[in-house]
DNA sequence: TCCCAGGTCCTAC
DNA sequence: GTAGGACCTGGG
């Protein structure tokens, strides 16, 4: 049930949702925490809508060209994956202390349904970068190539379209601090803008088909989408909850907390990345252990291992 | 100065 | 098939 009043305010109190955990969990990079009149808010841009979110409400501040405000409430409910039953998902996981602790500690963390193009570009930018640097690069790309959204507060920008980035030069892209990733960005933008890659169609396929196609369709002479980036796109935008992105933090987590999953796949090295073969084997082991919602388990564990590391 | 970051690609074997 | 190194850049 969606409730919306005349001011563009949408009541989201019916969704178990913690914006602090959700927006700092490394699945999205465009949300900023703002203190306004003593009230804590998150501000971001969703599919061309400038949005302000508190724990119980979402408000539309403005829209980019071509958007209709009446779409807003549907958009919010979809973006927050309101149909995901967190209780049911949590009950499907193994009853072991580390994961159960993470589920309790980060209660209200949801996996979002982001725009697939934005998600793909964001995770191409994430390659060998830390989260503040990723957010900085994405903001620069949006300011330079996105559309300005007029709001009552400070101006913000929509995420750049594939077409706008397909036309961008190396120097324009590099000026946004994306470094060597400029080639990957340009290539992905051209593939999507030309229609060679249809990201939406991937959502109709199974997880395995989607991942294979995503990697295969984007690969050319130069690409930049390996198994980890593909898993992030499938999980954080196409909502394939069987995805289990394995990054340096998750490898660290599995080595320390789930050594059985690791040893089973014969990787005793301490390398940051995996070969495709090992990645697949590790993913299969994680899926059989955590089950069909392993993407949620991954996200809670990711938060947990990072927080534990920083608090040492 | 060195190491690391939500990895991937290329080369040599 | 796989290990090892390179890669922009900023922060600790």
Q: Which residue has the higher pLDDT, A141 or A153?
A: A141
Distance between the alpha carbon (CA) of A171 and the C1' atom of B2, Å: 29
Nearest nucleotide (C1') to the CA of residue A178? C8
pLDDT, averaged across chain A: 91
DSSP class of residue A18 equals -
Check whether A197 has a pLDDT greater than 80.
Answer: yes
Distance between the alpha carbon (CA) of A216 and the C1' atom of B9, Å: 15
- pLDDT (tens digit, 9 = 90+) per residue, A64-80? 876 777 789 999 999 99
> Do residues A193 and A166 make contact, with C-beta atoms less than 8 angstroms apart?
yes
- Active site includes A228? yes
Best mean pLDDT range from A15-24, A200-209, A260-269: A15-24
Residues 111-140, chain A, CB closer than 7 Å to nucleic strand C: 128-130, 132-133
Furthest-apart CA pair in chain A: how many Å?
59
Segment among A69-78, A213-222, A286-295 with least mean pLDDT: A213-222
From A228, A240, A257, A304, active-site residue: A228
Distance between the alpha carbon (CA) of A127 and the C1' atom of B5, Å: 8
DSSP assignment string, A243-278: -----HHHHHHHHHH-HHHHHTTT-----SS--HHH
Check whether A267 has a pLDDT greater than 60.
Answer: no
- pLDDT (tens digit, 9 = 90+) per residue, A76-122? 999 999 999 999 999 999 999 999 999 999 999 999 999 999 999 99
User: For residue A179, what pLDDT is reported?
Assistant: 98
User: For residue A7, what pLDDT is reported?
Assistant: 54
Check whether A3 has a pLDDT greater than 90.
Answer: no
Structure tokens at A104: 């309790």
What are the C-alpha distances in Å from A242 to residues A183, A220, A225, A245, A304? 30, 26, 18, 10, 20
- A2: confidence class by pLDDT, cuts 50, 70, 90: very low
Distance between the alpha carbon (CA) of A286 and the C1' atom of C4, Å: 27
A227 in contact with nucleic chain B (CB within 7 A)? yes
Residues 113-132, chain A, CB closer than 7 Å to nucleic strand B: 123, 126-131
> What does pTM read for this prediction?
0.95
Q: Which residue has the higher pLDDT, A136 or A266?
A: A136
């Amino acid at each position: 049930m969606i409730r919306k009043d005349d001011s563009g305010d949408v009541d989201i109190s019916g969704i178990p949702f913690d914006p602090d955990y959700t927006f700092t969990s490394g699945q999205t990079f465009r949300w900023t925490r703002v203190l306004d009149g003593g009230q804590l808010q998150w501000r971001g841009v969703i599919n061309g809508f400038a949005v302000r979110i508190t724990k119980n409400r979402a408000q539309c501040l403005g829209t980019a060209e071509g958007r209709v405000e009446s779409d807003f409430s549907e958009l919010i409910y979809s973006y927050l994956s309101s149909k995901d039953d967190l209780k049911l998902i949590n009950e499907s996981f193994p009853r072991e202390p580390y994961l159960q602790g993470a589920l309790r500690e980060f209660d209200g963390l949801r996996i979002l349904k982001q725009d697939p193009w934005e998600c793909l570009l964001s995770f191409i930018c994430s390659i060998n970068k830390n989260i503040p640097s990723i957010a900085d690069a994405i903001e620069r790309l949006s300011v330079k190539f996105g559309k300005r959204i007029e709001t009552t507060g400070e101006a913000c920008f929509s995420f750049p379209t594939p077409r706008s980035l397909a036309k961008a030069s190396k120097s324009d892209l590099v000026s946004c601090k994306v470094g060597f990733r400029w080639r990957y960005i340009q290539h992905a933008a051209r593939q999507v803008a030309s229609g060679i890659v249809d990201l939406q169609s991937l959502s109709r396929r199974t997880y395995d088909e989607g991942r294979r196609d995503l990697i295969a369709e984007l690969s050319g002479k130069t690409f930049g989408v390996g198994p980890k980036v593909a898993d992030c796109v499938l999980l954080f935008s196409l909502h394939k909850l069987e995805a289990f992105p394995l990054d340096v933090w998750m490898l660290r987590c599995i080595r320390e907390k789930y050594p059985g999953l690791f040893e089973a796949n014969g990787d005793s090295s301490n390398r940051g990345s995996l070969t495709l073969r090992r990645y697949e084997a590790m993913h299969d082991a994680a899926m059989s252990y955590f089950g069909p919602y392993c993407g949620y388990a991954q996200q809670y564990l990711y938060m947990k291992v990072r927080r534990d590391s920083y608090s040492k």
